[in-house]
Amino acid sequence: MRILAAGVPFFVSQTWAPATLQVLAEDAQPASAMNPMNSGAAGQETSANPPVEKPMPPAPNSPVMMVDEVVPPAVPQETPTSPTPTSPAPDQTVAKASDAKQPPKQPEPKPQSADQPAESKKSEPAKKPAPPKPAPTKPAAPPKPVDKPFLSPTGVDLKKGAIRVEDAGPDFALQGEYMAWDWSAEKGWHWLGIQVVATGDGTFEALAYPGGLPGNGVAARATMPIGTPQIKADSELLPTLWQGSGKATPEGLLITFNQPSEGRKFVTKDGQTGQLFKGDGALISQAVKWSRKSQREGAQPPANAVVLFDGTDNGQLKNLKISPEGLMQIGSETKGAWQNFHLHAEFKTPFMPFAKGQARANSGFYLQKRYEVQVLDSFGLIPQFNDAAAIYRNKMPDLNMSFPPLSWQTYDIQFQAPLFDEQGTKIQNGRLTVWHNGIVVQNHVSLENKTGGGTKEGPEALPILFQNHGNPVEFRNLWLVELSPQVLQASTTPPVPTCLPVVATPNACVSTTPCCPPTKHRRPARCRR
């Protein structure tokens, strides 16, 4: 079923607005398919798993769609109700392969000298010559243990980042987005979206969203305030979310959430399917991994667009570096200068599990080399003022729409430059709207000033810079459409009254202008007695 998600003001240009205003969503799964208690979904009816008569919630609607139709696994016939999932202990009974193949060592015979008889008689003891003392040598230093958990099995340094899935290592297979059904007395059956984030060396953090994933069932509550650097997990501005953590073992990954009051546990063994438990170990439902993509991915430029990069050097960018796969590398900038425009861009962040904060796949779009829209691996994080899709250090996104690293993501950025008078004084701020993976996360935000390291504000147009921050972020499908300049908006504050010259009248001989103090003037002749 295809559902029209109305109310998405995508583009301004009249030549291509009608097509893009109709943003469609795919219902990735029918409600019955994900119902863990529905015998039709499980394909079986038993007394241990009776069908549930209560209707299940419909699949969420969103401009973000699934890559493939994923069918969840059938619920097992015998549902565990008592054992609590715990972190499995490592197997200590398995011997090393090298030790198993080594035969037991036999005692070596003592060396004998050439003059010594093979067997000495007890009655005729012979004196053994003292063996020559070996020259003293310096003992060899023991080899240093090699412990490099940041290297993937293919030898890629994950501290610097992997740009291919095959180089990402085993933690990457467990990281990602999962969907399950959860139950509460207040809501009944409802979606639970889970985002699992690898943090290096088998450790993980996670967020769970009652209602679904951001953009698929979960939306922003309110517009984030400008200039607020930090938002806590329980902020009323955020959707309801739970925080969790865990560690992978050879048997799988266990994530423990301390919310709701009875707790939740999520277990996955293969990174594709999983199970959701209550804190006491009672099974709630099966879970399945979701692979999402933006419907703006692969968007074709309209006829009036300027194609900046299409996999080849078409002369629009300087300092251009292209990978063997035809992807643009960091550090390029446009040769042309742009004033008002709509920019479409697609980017992919590397997998950097050991990095934190601003060191985790950092780049950015510097509009006019003045205002930065941040690029960062912010998947599974509470949004902050310097995370992905933020107007850097100015305003955090209204919703964190980041996909996992090594996924292609989209930005659609509508920028309108500030207005200046003839003397070069700014009389109106610039405006910025950002769609991240098809969802509006910055809505017509007023740009109070430039980004910290940006060029000083001014009326002249400047290029767009794709920031080089040292992390291997890659770009593709970059194009731009010029827009009309923004219109000077009428001031909403009443004008300050000016001091008018005093005019003597028969009934008033003093100034009554509000901003000026009353000033006595000499009466004209007609005012005199």
User: What separation in angstroms does the CA of 192 have from each of 219, 296, 505?
Assistant: 14, 25, 78
Which residue's entry shows tokens 């292609």?
A: 408
Distance from C-alpha of 403 to C-alpha of 176, rounded to nearest angstrom: 8
Which residue's entry shows tokens 């009816």?
A: 45
Could you tell me which of 378, 456, 470, 375 has the C-alpha nearest to residue 418?
456
Which residue's entry shows tokens 């990069």?
A: 309
What are the residue ranges in the chain where pLDDT is below 50? 1-62, 66-103, 107-122, 145-146, 500, 502-516, 527, 529
- pLDDT score, position 149: 74
The count of other CB atoms within 10 Å of the CB of residue 229 is: 9
- pLDDT score, position 519: 52
- pLDDT score, position 453: 87
Distance from C-alpha of 279 to C-alpha of 257, rounded to nearest angstrom: 8
- pLDDT score, position 143: 55
Terminal Cα-to-Cα distance of the chain (whole angstroms): 93
Could you tell me which of 275, 68, 80 has the C-alpha nearest to residue 192?
275
Distance from C-alpha of 199 to C-alpha of 432, rounded to nearest angstrom: 33
Distance from C-alpha of 295 to C-alpha of 20, rounded to nearest angstrom: 10
Contacts of 10 (CB under 8 A, 6+ apart): 17, 20, 21, 23, 412, 435
3-state secondary structure of 288: strand
Cβ atoms of 477 and 307 within 8 Å: the answer is: no
Strand 341-348 versus strand 371-375 pairing type = unpaired
User: What separation in angstroms does the CA of 372 have from each of 288, 326, 409, 449?
Assistant: 36, 25, 17, 11
3-state secondary structure of 358: helix
Radius of gyration of the chain (CA): 34
3-state secondary structure of 34: helix
Residue 235 Cα to chain centre, angstroms: 19
The reported pTM is 0.71
Distance from C-alpha of 482 to C-alpha of 11, rounded to nearest angstrom: 11
pLDDT in tens, 22-75: 332 333 333 333 333 333 333 333 333 333 333 333 444 445 554 444 444 443
Q: Within 13 Å of residue 111, how many CA atoms lie on the same side as its CB?
A: 6
